[in-house]
């Protein structure tokens, strides 16, 4: 089964998880590049505002077509209780191209359900979900959860 890992990461936490998933699944990996600058304190505030309004933004061109993969792992941080805007924009841009999806999220807290539901509303029902706190990722304390998620 060929897989693709697509992620957006503002601080590198979600990127770390995406790289591990790609390594463990021997899958291709691609980072979503936002055309909107979300760096720094102003970017952080803008990120929350955009997520709350589910703003669709411009993202960079992607090299991989999700329609070419059996399973696509989709990951991002949680912003203001919702999935990060760049990932929602990716899902919107690729509507109807997914055979199977698995969602992974990172956040300061463990409140993931609303963000997973939002991702599903722009995609299809995921076959698996994984929510990790920033603390779990920084301490590399998620091997068991990751194994269950990958299957």
Give the pLDDT of residue 118: 95
pLDDT digits (tens, 9 = 90+) for 19-62: 999 999 999 999 999 999 998 898 888 888 998 888 899 999 99
Pick the closest to residue 47 from 17, 78, 16 (CA basis). Answer: 78
Please name each of the domains of the chain with its CATH number: 3-150 (3.40.50.360)
User: Which runs of E-coded beta strand occur in the chain?
Assistant: 3-7, 28-31, 71-79, 82-83, 101-107, 128-133
The whole-angstrom separation of Cα 120 and Cα 110 is 18
pLDDT digits (tens, 9 = 90+) for 89-136: 999 999 999 999 999 999 998 789 999 999 999 999 999 999 999 999
Q: What pTM value is reported for the model?
A: 0.95
């Amino acid at each position: 089964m060929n897989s693709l890992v697509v992620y957006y990461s503002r601080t590198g936490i979600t990127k770390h998880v995406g790289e591990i998933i790609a390594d463990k699944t021997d899958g291709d990996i691609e980072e979503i590049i936002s055309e909107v600058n979300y760096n720094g304190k102003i970017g952080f505030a803008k990120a929350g505002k955009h997520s709350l309004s589910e703003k669709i933004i411009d993202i960079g061109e992607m090299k991989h077509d999700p329609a070419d993969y059996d399973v696509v792992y989709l990951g991002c941080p949680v912003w203001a209780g919702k999935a990060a805007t760049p990932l929602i924009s990716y899902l919107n841009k690729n509507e109807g191209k997914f055979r199977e999806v698995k969602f992974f999220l990172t956040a300061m807290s463990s409140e993931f359900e609303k963000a997973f539901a939002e991702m599903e509303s722009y995609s299809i029902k995921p076959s698996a979900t994984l929510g990790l706190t920033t603390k779990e990722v920084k301490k590399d304390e998620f091997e068991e959860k990751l194994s269950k998620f990958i299957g």
